[in-house]
Structure 1
């Protein structure tokens, strides 16, 4: 039994992570945060020419060696007729919760973001007040409450928003380490999307079964599994691999 577990762990977790670690140094990586590109990735139109209300969730690889296995995520909203986007994310220095800390669709440590979720029009207008309330209700907004691993971190914050507003209907990437962290330590209940069930121990071990989240097995913050709604593999390091 032990040998089978070790073999399964190696195939599902260690091999994908090791292969991504070998590939990562060949990417054009910034030497440090000062020399990294934090500019807009031009994924959003100028707010002044976008009349509708919009909601976006983005995620981008973090900097240097941590990019091997982790993403940073954030939430962007814009009310109908507003001439600017509002970005909410959590960082690991100073007061964690930041508003418009970077460009709404800015690169993170030089890495271009990927779109996780998008809602527009009347549906977005209805969700934005609830998103703003979810940001206000986040429990770890004081100095010293941030923990990169296992959480609460930037992904714990966005997962909190997704759980408070399940109508957003999307899951964070499997490489969003900290998304499964729970303040109660041992958690058993609904997934954030309310489309399945989840059990987690401090975000260090757990399992999720849901239509939006798919099948996820979490060990030490690394996730392996399957995306059921949009068929794909979920692999440590590589993240979601599919169409």
Structure 2
């Protein structure tokens, strides 16, 4: 009788650890009290440079808290691109309320995600952006689940962004650990990490293990991830995300005086 009690105690303790982050987010944020999605803020956050005044090619990756109570658990991610010399941006993302879930269109690159302010995850410009842009634009329509969407454990919006990143050499970006769905690999069990250096094992997005230079180490239990990131001097908590002293992703640094 002692062993079943120990097993039950371990299960309850594990569930408590996994849900502590989302419960903390529920207690400390107003994400779940979002009102109507029709009237939620979708304005630009003013993070991206103006396409009219910036001639360089640019590739950016953003994340924002998911809509309503889902934001306690996860973020929504997307890719924004601008060709060299172009006077407009394109936004590439997956949304769950369409039959064809891929949405690639001219739009403001840094719009709020229905009331949630976006966070810039990566910013690649100049020659490197020009080199990877054709491969990104080719990968977007080749996404293998164009008519499938499952918020948990995937394929979803984060699955899309992670998949595109993996298809493009040089587009090495680690996604937040609370981007639920990024670890969904379909029928595959093993893959390179989006950050470019490292590998991950995933069982349908429900359970897995990830180790990468940019990502650090993550354990995925029921889609919720926790871990550490030595390079970023950070820890990763379910729901909360990564608490780190620095970013391991490429982020454009403006030249002083420019």
Task: Say yes or no: TM over 0.5.
Answer: yes
1:37 to 28, 38, 41: 41
RMSD: 1.9
SS of the aligned residue for 2:23 comes to helix
SS of the aligned residue for 1:55 comes to strand
1:203 to 196, 202, 205: 205
Report 1:204-223 matches (<5 A): 204-223=206-225
Question: CA deviation digits over 1:72-95, x for unaligned, max 9?
Answer: 110011111000011100000122
Tell me whether 1:188 sits opposite 2:190 in the alignment: yes
Report 1:93-242 matches (<5 A): 93-94=97-98, 95-100=100-105, 102-142=107-147, 145-184=148-187, 187-242=189-244
Unaligned runs of 5+ in 2: 1-5, 246-258
Contact 2:34 2:68 in 1 (8 A): yes
Distance (Å, rounded) in 1 between the aligned partners of 2:14 and 2:107: 38
Contact 1:166 1:193 in 2 (8 A): no
Unaligned runs of 5+ in 1: none
Moved more, 96-105 or 109-118: 96-105
Q: Which has the larger radius of gyration?
A: 2
Contact 1:167 1:193 in 2 (8 A): no
Question: 1 or 2, which has the higher helix percentage?
Answer: 1
Contact 2:166 2:192 in 1 (8 A): no
Equivalenced residue count is 239
Distance (Å, rounded) in 1 between the aligned partners of 2:25 and 2:157: 22
SS of the aligned residue for 1:127 comes to helix
TM score, norm. by length of structure 2: 0.86
